[in-house]
Every structure is written in C-alpha cells, then in structure tokens.
Amino acid sequence: MSHLQTSSLPFKERVEQQIHNEIMRKAVIKAQETIGANRQKMVDELGHWEEWRDLSKQFRNHVLANLDAYLYQLSEKVTQNGGHVFFAETAEEASDYIRKVALEKKAKTIVKSKSMVTEEIGLNSVLETEGIKVVETDLGEYLLQIVGDKPSHIVVPAIHKDRHRIHKELHEVLGYEGSEQPEEMNAFIRKVLREDFLKADIGISGCNFAVPETGSVCLVTNEGNLRLATTVPKTHIAVMGMERIAPTFKEVDVLITMLCRSAVGAKLTAYNTWLTGPRLENEADGPEDFHLVIVDNGRSAILESEFKEVLRCIRCGACLNTCPAYRQIGGHGYGSIYPGPIGAVISPLLGGYKEFKELPYACSLCNACNSVCPVKIPLAQLILKHREKMVEQGVTPKIEQLEIKGFTFANSHPTLWNMGVKVGAKAISKFIKNGKPAIKIGALGEWTKARDLPISDGESFREWFAKRK
C-alpha cells in the first residue's frame, strides 16, 4: 500500500462502510453546512469575489509558467539566509533526506505541525522505523495519531469524529477522566503535548506558500502549535510541494485572503506565520538550523500534462465542503489522503490508476466544486478527463468495455437498433420484477441498487409517438 492510500479495502467495501457510518455522516453534514454558511458570509463581505478568483488564478498560473525560475530564486535566497535546500524528485528521496538530518542531529523526539505533503511522502513511518518519536501537534492530527487513524479532510483532518467518540478514545488511550466539553479535552491534550514541545530536537512543518523574493515560508494555522514546533526545537525542517510558491508578499496577501475564507469561512486564521531561515545572532528565539525540502513526487509530470491546472490548488478544502459525494462517503471512502473532488483528480496523478481508478467515478459531475474553488480549477472537467484517459488506456473493467462496445455497435446500426427497441419493449417486462432486473450485472446492476426500472407496457416510445403525429 502506498503512502497516499489510507485503506487497503476495495473501493466498494469502503463506500459501503462509510455510507453506514452515522457518526461520520452527521459530523460531515454539520461541518459542511457550518463552514459553507460562514464562507458565504465572508465572500459577501469581501465583495467582487469573482474578480478575486480571477486574480488568484492569474497568480497561480504565472507561478506554474515560471516555476523553474522561482524555485531557483527561492533556493538561492534560503541559502543566503543560512538555510539548506534539498530538491526531492520522489517521496523516498524526501523522507530519506529528513531521516538523515534526524540521525545526524541524534534526534529522539520530533514535533510536527499539520502537513499534507509529509503524509504524502509517508514521513512518520520512515522516522519511527529509526526509533524516533514523532508527535503530531495539530489537535485533529494528534487525535488521529493516538488511535492509528488517517485524516479524512485536507483542512479538518478529524472531521469524521464527534466529541463523544473523541472523549471515548482519549479515555481509552490516554486515561482521560474529564468531561466531554471540548474546552476541557483540549486543555488536557495541551498539557500532554507541552512536554513534547519542550524536549523536541526537531520541528517539522509544511508550507502554505514559499516566497522567493525573501526566501520565506508562510504558514497559516488556527492553533499555536506551529509556532512552538518551529521555534523551540534547535532544528526546523519545512516540507513543501514544489508548486506552493507566491512570488512576493503582495501575492501572498491575496492568496491568504482567499485561502482562509474558502477553507474555514474566516477573514484570517488565528496564526499567520512567516519564517525566514535560522535564528540570527541578535534574535531571542528560533531554530539554529533550517532545512527546506522541496518535493516533486510526480508534479513535474503533471505540469507537462493536460491536468496541469490542478497544480493551482492551494489546499483550502472548499471543494470537499460542497461536494455531495463527500457528504455521503466522507474522506475515508476515497481511500486517499487527498479525498473529495481534488483527491479524485490528484490521487490518480500521484498514485496511478492502478490504485485510484475508482475515484474519478465518485463524482456526479454536478460542478459544485468548480463554483467554489478560489483559484478556478475546473475540477469536474479534469475528473471527466480522467475517465476519458482510463477508457483510452483500457483501465476500465472488461465487462464495462464489452457493454460499451455492444451498445456502440447496436447504436451505429439503425435497423438493428429499431429491432432491438421493438423486441425489447415487449420482452423486457419478463426480466423485471419489482423494478429490478433478473440479472444484476455490470452498470445496470449497480444503477438499480438505488433505482427502480419502469414496467413496460409492451410499446416502445417510437411506436407511441407514431400514433400521435
């Protein structure tokens, strides 16, 4: 199982599990409605939303068109500031570099702030194999880590849990004896984590945006954990997908405005942090050593493909918060650390069709995701493009290929088609019982699981229409 995968179960089994997971579905529905309402307030308050979206799209397209130059400028600035830069072509190269830094520093404890790209490269398991204690310090990520669970949302990783489940797990794993009040549970976790912050040798973070102009990394969070993770330990390692660049702070200003409103329905998150290299001689706090790991892991190939628009993504999760499919099956139904519409596009690109061929079909193509994306990624069209590519490459199930070939042949021969329609209208009622076909195979079997077929009266539509001319 690759680092991207969150489950080894087949797609249909995952979906079946999640559809019957009442706790998850109630939690996701509540979150979607709350975040969606708050987002709309912020959109209305900002005004000229479509112009902001157009501007954000232009910024991200400009970066992608000039990515090589900006990456070079970024690496030069970080080095000038006293930091170290490592370009990782693969997930293995990225995690191996961080592993070597950790061993060189003789690290025993590492604290991490939330980072999707470290999930993508499977960093935790690599470090833990070396006997290093790795602690997720984002509240949601920590709640998942202590029970061996996986994130189900890009921004709100534990969205599938309610406070009753969290209370139960805290009691079972950490011996928590307090109430179910979120404030009390949060205070308990804060006390536990404080010890790890103080003894950590290395702090690892993601990177929302890197600024080549100054060699800075911009980090957007709602908890104080990131600042502790990046300033208390002697070494800070930031890990970023290579496309996560904003040329100057002017662009960062616009993109953060869009990110916060789209992600959680807020003007700004509680903490907006800009870090530029290691601590200087006259500074009171900060790391003594700074490393920036820039991860490709398939992004160069995406940049050269017809899917390059997906690299505009700023990981706000707005598409998940509006998606009707995500509403029903949650993040774990997708079986990828990148769920929802964005996951349906990017997971097959990073992990291949062999592992994620079903995800482009976990979509009704309703275009809701397109309408909320702050950088105007045509997600529904990219999902449809995946379906086309899979048909071209013969990835789709053999029975489906035969069904389509049969339909195409009949549809391209009018005489055969008309004969089939007439015979079918008279014979089909013998094969339908209580709205279901007698043989439930292929697409028809799947389609009728939740739908009833009409009972034929023996007359085709063309025959009915001819009588009424």
pLDDT value at position 134? 97
Please name the residues in contact with 367: beta carbons below 8 A apart, sequence gap of 6 or more: 380
Instruction: Judge if 27 and 156 occupy the same domain.
Output: yes
Report if residue 384 sits inside a domain: no
Residue 68 is encoded by which pair of tokens?
């090589």
Report if residue 354 sits inside a domain: no
The answer to whether residues 272 and 65 touch, using CB atoms and an 8 Å cutoff, is no
pLDDT value at position 465? 87
The H helix count followed by the E strand count for the chain is 23, 11
Q: Which of 301, 320, 353 is the last residue of a domain?
A: 301
Alpha-carbon gap, residue 237 to 78, rounded angstroms: 12
Q: Which of 280, 301, 322 is the last residue of a domain?
A: 301
Instruction: Judge if 292 and 435 occupy the same domain.
Output: no
Report if residue 31 sits inside a domain: yes
Alpha-carbon gap, residue 277 to 453, rounded angstroms: 65
Cα angle: 143, vertex 148, 152; to 5 degrees: 65
Please name the residues in contact with 437: beta carbons below 8 A apart, sequence gap of 6 or more: 431, 444, 445, 448, 453
Residue 267 is encoded by which pair of tokens?
């003007």
Counting Cα atoms < 13 Å in the Cβ hemisphere of 314 gives 34
Q: What are phi and psi of 323, to 5 degrees?
A: -75, 125
Report if residue 18 sits inside a domain: yes
The DSSP string of 390-447 is: HHHTT-S-HHHHHHHHHHHHHHT-HHHHHHHHHHHHHHGGGGEETTEESS--HHHHHH
Report if residue 61 sits inside a domain: yes
Report if residue 322 sits inside a domain: no
Instruction: Judge if 192 and 77 occupy the same domain.
Output: yes
Alpha-carbon gap, residue 362 to 383, rounded angstroms: 9
Alpha-carbon gap, residue 134 to 364, rounded angstroms: 39
Instruction: Judge if 405 and 285 occupy the same domain.
Output: no
Q: What count of residues does the chain have?
A: 469
Instruction: Return the number of other C-beta atoms located less than 10 Å from residue 439's C-beta.
Output: 9
Q: Which domain holds residue 460?
A: 398-467
Instruction: Judge if 411 and 284 occupy the same domain.
Output: no
pLDDT value at position 442? 66
Residue 370 is encoded by which pair of tokens?
């397109």
Report if residue 320 sits inside a domain: no
Instruction: Judge if 21 and 139 occupy the same domain.
Output: yes
Instruction: Judge if 123 and 246 occupy the same domain.
Output: yes
Element (H, E) at 147: none
* Partner residues linked to 111 by β-bridges: 135, 203
Q: CATH no. for residue 110?
A: 3.40.50.10420
Cα angle: 432, vertex 433, 437; to 5 degrees: 45
Instruction: Judge if 288 and 412 occupy the same domain.
Output: no
Please name the residues in contact with 294: beta carbons below 8 A apart, sequence gap of 6 or more: 71, 74, 75, 85, 86, 87, 88, 240, 242
Q: From first to last of its 469 residues, what are the pLDDT tens digits of the chain? A: 678 999 989 999 999 999 999 999 999 999 999 999 999 999 999 999 999 999 999 999 999 999 999 999 999 999 999 999 999 999 999 999 999 999 999 999 999 999 999 999 999 999 999 999 999 999 999 999 999 999 999 999 999 999 999 999 999 999 999 999 999 999 999 999 999 999 999 999 999 999 999 999 999 998 989 999 999 999 999 999 999 999 999 999 999 999 999 999 999 888 999 999 898 888 888 899 999 999 999 999 999 999 999 999 999 999 999 999 999 999 999 999 999 999 999 999 999 999 999 999 999 999 999 999 999 999 999 999 999 999 999 888 887 788 788 888 888 988 888 888 888 777 777 777 777 777 776 667 777 777 887 777 778 888 888 888 6
Report if residue 1 sits inside a domain: no
Label residues 236-247 b or e (16+ Cβ within 10 Å = b). bbbbbbbbbbbb
pLDDT value at position 171? 96
The answer to whether residues 320 and 154 touch, using CB atoms and an 8 Å cutoff, is yes
Q: Which of 285, 301, 317 is the last residue of a domain?
A: 301
If you search the block for the tokens 């990782």, which residue do you land on?
88
- How many domains is the chain partitioned into structurally? 2
The answer to whether residues 243 and 299 touch, using CB atoms and an 8 Å cutoff, is yes
Alpha-carbon gap, residue 149 to 152, rounded angstroms: 9
Return the axis-axis angle of helices 398-411 and 414-427, rounded to nearest 10°: 110
Secondary structure E strands in 338-385: none
